[in-house]
Amino acid sequence: MRLIEPNTGLSLREAVSRMMDDNFVRQDRGLPTMPVDVLETNDSILVKAQIPGSSKEQIEIHYEKDILTLKATVPAEVAPEGGKFLLRERGNGDITRTFRLPFPVDPEKAQAEYHDGVLSLTLPKLESARPRQITIH
């Protein structure tokens, strides 16, 4: 935060404007995040990822050798002509999350939905990875 020195010739309005620019208008943005929940059931893994601001066309899902990768592009919002942001906290840009799954899944039977900014991905376990009951003879 830049302090306003006394007797600098700045009006109160200029001082407040400078303070707002220095502390609230952030042009140098970090990348957005992708909070994720991963849930295991007996038959599958359910992944839910928050990706607000993206369309389903801007999301990619890759699975190879027990590695799941989620990629998304969050577009930047442009201020209308004559407008300027006073506060800008929502990130934009490309984001990626990568996970090593603890067992193999069947990508051919995977299902993905994107609704209200949440990607829901169901990855069925391969039959060999599912728990089994062993009978005692």
Q: What is the 3-class SS of 14-56, one letter each residue?
A: HHHHHHHHHHCCCCCCCCCCCCEEEEECCCEEEEEEECCCCCH
Exposure of 14 in the CB half-sphere (CA atoms within 13 A): 7
Q: What is the average per-residue pLDDT within 50-69?
A: 92
pLDDT at 44: 93
pLDDT at 30: 55
SS3 99: strand
Q: Give me the residue spans of the domains in the chain.
A: 1-28, 31-125
pLDDT at 22: 57
DSSP state at residue 8 = S
pLDDT digits (tens, 9 = 90+) for 82-115: 998 888 888 888 999 998 998 889 999 999 999 9
pLDDT at 28: 47
pLDDT digits (tens, 9 = 90+) for 9-18: 667 777 676 6
pLDDT at 62: 95
pLDDT at 61: 96
Percent over 70 (pLDDT), the chain? 77
CA quadruple 40, 64, 55, 87: dihedral sign: positive
Edge-to-edge strand list for the sheet holding 118-124: 36-40, 44-50, 118-124, 111-115
pLDDT at 126: 87
Q: How many residues does the chain have?
A: 137
pLDDT at 6: 53
Tell me the CATH architecture of domain 31-125.
Sandwich (2.60)
Look-up of token digits 């009951």: 133
pLDDT digits (tens, 9 = 90+) for 17-50: 666 655 554 444 555 689 999 999 989 999 999 9
> What whole-number distance in Å separates Cα of residue 123 and Cα of residue 109?
7
Is 33:91 a contact under the CB 8 Å cutoff?
yes
Q: Does residue 116 have a pLDDT over 90?
A: yes
CA gyration radius, the chain: 24
